[in-house]
Structure 1
Amino acid sequence: MSAILEHVARKGSVDAGAIAEEFGVSTATIRRDLQVLEDQRLVARTHGGAVAVDVAYELPVRYRTGQHREEKVLVARRAAELLPRGPLTLGLSGGTTTLLLSRLLADRVDLTVVTNALNIGSELVLRPRLKLIMTGGVSRTQSYELVGPIADQALSGLNIEIAVIGVDGISARGGLTTHDEIEAHTNAAMIRRADRVMVVADGSKVGRTCLAAIAPITDVAMLVTDATADPEQVTAIRRAGVEVTVAE
């Protein structure tokens, strides 16, 4: 179903017969998937297919997990290697790459993790040797993040050594961006409380600018991305003073 949503996000609509042929499955299978997506209010069914329900289309995180997965795994592994050993207070925003990173860190005994992401919290809550702090806030279905004034207020009273931020777009000109302005505000609150900011973003997000600004590029100490990132965009980000690590 994530592939169908990707197609709708790119084209604005989908034809059941055409995409069934493209994927090598039956039209009946595609129609069933479209019905599930319509029930979740992610698409609107039409005669022979479906259309996007919103112009500002954002795939929910449960459907984004499989997108660019190999690249995200590489980025998460490299980010885990770059984090310092020893006691550390780490902020983790929501996102598929930060979720993968949290799984790599789950066995550390010297971490305090501050997060507003429900899925990251559920990954770490049963790890007794790791201290977990959840912000509270209003849940956002698309990203599994807790956002808004409650989350912002919780973050304002905490000190974070390194914040690892997931984004929908990063560029030298646009800085860090995402689809939702409330989510952006909460992520910015985490950045303000951090001594150092690391952004994790697969190459598809490098050079991209989305609706809501989180922070300028000058707030970022390091970007961890992969080799699919546009080299010109990577160079521009480096020129802005950001250390860029490309996971191979």
Structure 2
Amino acid sequence: MALINRRQEDILSELDKKGYVNVVDLCAAHNVSTVTIRKDLTFLENENLLHRTHGGASKKLLYAFERNVNDKEELQVEQKKQIAKEALKFINNNDNIILGSGSNIHYLSRIIKDFNKLTVMTSSLKVSLELCRESTISTIQLGGDIRNSSTSVVGPIAEATLGQFSCNKLFLGTDGVHLDFGLSTSNALEAHLNQAMIAVSEKVIVLADSTKMNVRGFGKICNLHKIDILITDSGIDEETKIKLEEFGIDVVVAQMEK
């Protein structure tokens, strides 16, 4: 590794605190030109110490890529379990709900039990298999083209079916929650189906662990003002939480069990 100067050390220190930095703030803090800061960021990126973004840099990669749902279920396991427990609190008897796809939603489906009556519509085959074990849950599996990587359906058949129903709550997974780009996923067809789910739901509840914050995927689902509740874990930074709340989102932070 090449030698890092004091200014570059300060940039990395700021990244550790906030998770991201922008060029304008760095110029003001160090009283140097934008050219100098951009050279610093390029140097640090070449050393694999940060990721360049438009107008700044991030500690983590800000673009989601498609992964197999089985692989995703092995990531942030404890956080996802706690997020699922918080999400369960928003489900009541006699609800008519939609469950999207993804690892967070699958974790939720595993603990939906002991309801007197509940109707669930879902695009996820794995979710349907979990729910069909409960005799008091009426499960509606959407049809359509199956995405092997997510074991869920997408496409016009699923979207047309959704248009025949009205549900009071939608529980949605995501690959990215970005302050400018909004809610997104790595697959464009899934993003389009999620838009159809939002259109037939009274309340939108998003389940996203903190690694999804300030990340964007290829397919945009919606702007942030469409989200009613976001359930995440304690890894979310306070500044991001405050900005999300300014969009009118009720941010619920699931705490890890001790």
Q: TM-score range by the shorter chain?
A: 0.7 to 0.9
1:186 and 2:193 equivalent? yes
- Could you report, residue by residue, the CA deviation over 1:78-117 in whole angstroms, capped at 9, with x for unpaired residues? 111233x331001100011111111111332321001010
Partner of 1:45: none
TM-score normalised to the size of structure 2? 0.72
Contact preservation (8 Å) 1:206, 1:234: no
Native 8 Å contact 2:224 2:247 kept in 1: yes
CA distance in 1, matches of 2:64, 2:107: 26
Q: Is the counterpart of residue 103 in structure 1 residue 115 in structure 2?
A: no
Match of 2:7 in 1: none
1:208 partner amino acid? V
Q: Indicate which of 95, 112, 120 corresponds to 1:113.
A: 120
Cα distance between partner residues in 2 of 1:226 and 1:206 = 11
State the distance in 1 between where 2:65 and 2:217 align: 11
Return the offset for 1:65: 0.6
Among 115, 126, 138, the residue aligned to 1:131 = 138
Sort the Cα spacing of 1:96 and 1:175 in 2 relative to 1 into closer, same or farther, 3 A.
Answer: same
- Could you state the TM-score of these two structures normalised by the residue count of structure 1? 0.75
Asked if the contact 1:207/1:230 (under 8 Å) is kept, the reply is no
Which runs of no fewer than 5 residues in structure 2 stay unpaired? 1-62
The answer to whether the aligner puts 1:58 opposite 2:79 as a matched pair is no
- Counterpart-to-counterpart distance in 2, 1:114 and 1:107: 18
Q: Answer yes or no: is 1:170 the counterpart of 2:140.
A: no
Structure 1 residues 91-150: Cα deviation after superposition (integer angstroms, max 9, x where no partner): 100011111111111332321001010100111123221100111010001111100000
1:170–1:176 Cα contact (<8 Å) kept:
yes
- Choose 1 or 2 for highest CA Rg: 2
CA-CA distance at 1:163 after TM superposition: 0.2
Looking at structure 2, the residues matched to 221 and 230 of structure 1 have their Cα atoms a distance apart, in angstroms, of: 19
Q: Is the 8 A contact 1:171 1:237 kept in 2?
A: no
| Compared CA separation, residues 189 and 209, structure 1 to 2 (3 A) | same
1:230 is matched with which residue: 230, 233, 237? 237
Q: In the TM superposition, what whole-angstrom CA distance separates every residue of 1:170-196 from its partner, at most 9, and x where no partner exists?
A: 123211100010010001111110000
Residue ranges of structure 1 left out of the alignment (5+ in a row): 1-54
Number of residue pairs matched?
Answer: 193
Q: Percent sequence identity over matched residues?
A: 31
